[in-house]
């Protein structure tokens, strides 16, 4: 009944509509730790934490308890016109304590897309407040994913996010995705490749005109683009170019935030300090919708200095700083401290990496294995010796994902890349089981 109703009534996110009518949904009815259970009682190890978000698994009781307590105390309130609530202030304090951006402010939203839209609007507002409203283009990167709102999609460098939408021109210009394995010249070192990408960025800025560009947005590790890890010196080089041209650097920490890369934030792992950063997903362990933007004091002061002239800061959502969401997120961060999330991501990440190397190295479908913290990407290839790509029509990644499901594991394919982003509560034995099931799926497809 669930299946039929879903097909009848529900337009799914990021899903092929006709294929869904034929295949039907995977209907999940409960979670237990790192597992989810479908309507027929089958248990799956969730190797993706849902959509890179359920950091504490799928049934963390403490999150449920604080949500219930907050709902009984003050179930909802807004933060327009000077209103606040103790839950959102506590969350601002918890985020500020771990944020690399010191002394600025925290703005609340409900989704990663809204947080990224907010960063762009803040960059525009900042430049308007400085008397430079013409400085408004945003640089993004091919392969990037920044969300599904009009601006989030415009910022995304994935063709399906643009195809058939006829999006308005939002002044987004694209520079290269830092994928050394795919795009470096033969023999080019990671360092030389990073230097070349920084030079390409410089050339793009010259061509567009620095006076027309407000900001560049980047995920520290590109997630939906295929778990792409930049060369170690990429971000410092990029940041130096941007700083020379008075262009802000916006970090999209929606996936990387809250320990995923082995530091609280991905910018810390990849050696740069953003002017603003967006957070969502792991902020509440995915248990309730909430997102945030941390902005530097420089940006805040420019905006605040102009408030007499510009008036009200005309941005914000009914549920910005929602007390129930904020209480859940604050509790999630408390648990992250208690479990030493950064150390845990590093330890379990090393364990996962060793297991992947042991089980998959030399497999006829496996090219490069990449990982940082508790986040891994596995490049599939038609020929490990040459790295030759599969014909996309074969949909090899999708076949592997389906076979994984049959073996009781949820992973995600992005074309020829497989992503793993398990909850931090996963135990080594469960990592072994996840990797074994992935190996079995690869064997099925090979």
Q: Are 172 and 164 in contact (CB under 8 A)?
A: no
- 47, 51, 57, 62 alpha-carbon torsion, rounded to 10°: 170
Q: Which residue number places its CB atom closest to ligand PLP?
A: 112
254 binding ligand PLP? (CB under 6 A)? yes
State the Cα–Cα distance between residues 327 and 137, nearest whole angstrom. 36
146 binding ligand PLP? (CB under 6 A)? yes
Shortest spacing between CB 169 and ligand PLP, in angstroms: 21
The candidate with the shortest Cα–Cα distance to 284, out of 67, 34, 45, 430, is 67
Q: Which run of H or of E encompasses 410? A: strand 409-410
Determine the interface stretch with ligand PLP among 198-206, 219-227, 298-306, 419-427 (rule: CB under 6 A).
219-227
Residues 366 to 405 in contact with ligand PLP, rule: CB under 6 A: none
Out of 126, 145, 265, 270, name the contact with ligand PLP by CB under 6 A. 145
Residues 147 to 166 in contact with ligand PLP, rule: CB under 6 A: 147
Q: Are 56 and 424 in contact (CB under 8 A)?
A: yes
State the Cα–Cα distance between residues 301 and 311, nearest whole angstrom. 14
The candidate with the shortest Cα–Cα distance to 360, out of 290, 426, 434, is 434
> How far, CA to CA in Å, does 89 sit from each of 93, 95, 138, 294, 323?
6, 10, 31, 14, 9
Shortest spacing between CB 293 and ligand PLP, in angstroms: 12
47 binding ligand PLP? (CB under 6 A)? no
> Any residues with CB less than 8 A from the CB of 125 and at least 6 apart, and which?
303, 310, 313, 315
Out of 60, 202, 252, 401, name the contact with ligand PLP by CB under 6 A. 252
State the Cα–Cα distance between residues 294 and 95, nearest whole angstrom. 8
45 binding ligand PLP? (CB under 6 A)? no
Out of 31, 112, 257, 259, name the contact with ligand PLP by CB under 6 A. 112
String of contacts with ligand PLP for each residue 315-344, x by CB under 6 A: ------------------------------
State the Cα–Cα distance between residues 23 and 21, nearest whole angstrom. 6
Shortest spacing between CB 69 and ligand PLP, in angstroms: 25
4: number of Cβ within 10 Å:
9
127 binding ligand PLP? (CB under 6 A)? no
Determine the interface stretch with ligand PLP among 109-117, 358-366, 398-406, 412-420 (rule: CB under 6 A).
109-117
280 binding ligand PLP? (CB under 6 A)? yes
Determine the interface stretch with ligand PLP among 91-99, 107-115, 302-310, 311-319 (rule: CB under 6 A).
107-115
Query: Residues in the site for ligand PLP, rule: CB under 6 A?
Result: 51, 111-113, 116, 145-147, 219, 223-224, 252, 254-255, 280
């Amino acid at each position: 009944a669930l299946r039929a109703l879903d097909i009848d009534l529900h337009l799914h996110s990021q899903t092929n509509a006709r294929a869904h009518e034929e295949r039907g949904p995977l209907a999940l009815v409960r979670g237990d730790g790192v597992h989810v259970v479908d309507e027929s009682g089958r248990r799956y190890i969730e190797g993706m934490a849902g959509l890179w978000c359920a950091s504490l698994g799928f049934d963390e009781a403490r999150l449920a308890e604080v949500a219930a307590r907050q709902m009984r105390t003050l179930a909802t309130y807004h933060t327009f016109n000077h209103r606040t609530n103790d839950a959102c202030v506590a969350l601002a304090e918890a985020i500020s304590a771990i944020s690399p951006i010191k002394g600025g402010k925290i703005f609340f939203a409900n989704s990663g897309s809204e947080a990224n839209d907010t960063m762009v609007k803040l960059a525009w507002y900042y430049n308007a407040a400085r008397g430079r409203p013409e400085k408004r283009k945003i640089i993004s990167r091919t392969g990037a994913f920044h969300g599904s709102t009009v601006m989030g999609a415009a910022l995304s460098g994935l063709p399906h996010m643009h195809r058939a939408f006829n999006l308005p021109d939002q002044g987004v210009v694209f520079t290269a995705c830092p994928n050394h394995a795919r795009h470096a010249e033969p023999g080019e070192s990671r360092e030389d490749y990073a230097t070349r990408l920084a030079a390409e960025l410089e050339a793009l800025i010259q061509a567009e005109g620095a006076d027309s560009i407000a900001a560049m947005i980047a995920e520290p590790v590109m997630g939906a683009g295929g778990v792409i890890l930049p060369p170690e010196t990429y971000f410092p080089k990029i940041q130096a170019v941007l700083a020379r041209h008075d262009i802000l650097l916006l970090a999209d920490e929606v996936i990387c935030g809250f320990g995923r890369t082995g530091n609280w934030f991905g910018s810390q792992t990849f050696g740069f300090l953003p002017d603003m950063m967006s957070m969502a997903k792991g902020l509440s362990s995915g248990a309730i919708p909430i997102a945030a933007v941390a902005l530097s004091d420089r940006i805040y002061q420019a905006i605040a200095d102009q408030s007499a002239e510009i008036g009200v800061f005309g941005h914000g959502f009914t549920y910005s700083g929602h007390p129930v969401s904020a209480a859940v997120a604050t509790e999630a961060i408390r648990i992250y401290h208690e479990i030493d999330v950064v150390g845990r991501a590093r330890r379990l990440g090393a364990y996962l990496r060793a297991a992947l190397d042991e089980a998959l190295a030399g497999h006829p479908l496996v090219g490069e294995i990449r990982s940082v913290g508790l986040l891994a990407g596995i490049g599939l290839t038609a020929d490990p010796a040459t790295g030759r790509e599969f014909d996309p029509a074969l949909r090899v990644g999708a076949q592997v994902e389906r076979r994984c499901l049959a073996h009781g594991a949820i992973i995600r394919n992005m074309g020829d890349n497989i992503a793993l982003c398990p909850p931090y509560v996963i135990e080594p034995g469960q990592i072994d089981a996840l990797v074994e099931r992935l190996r079995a799926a690869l064997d099925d497809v090979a």
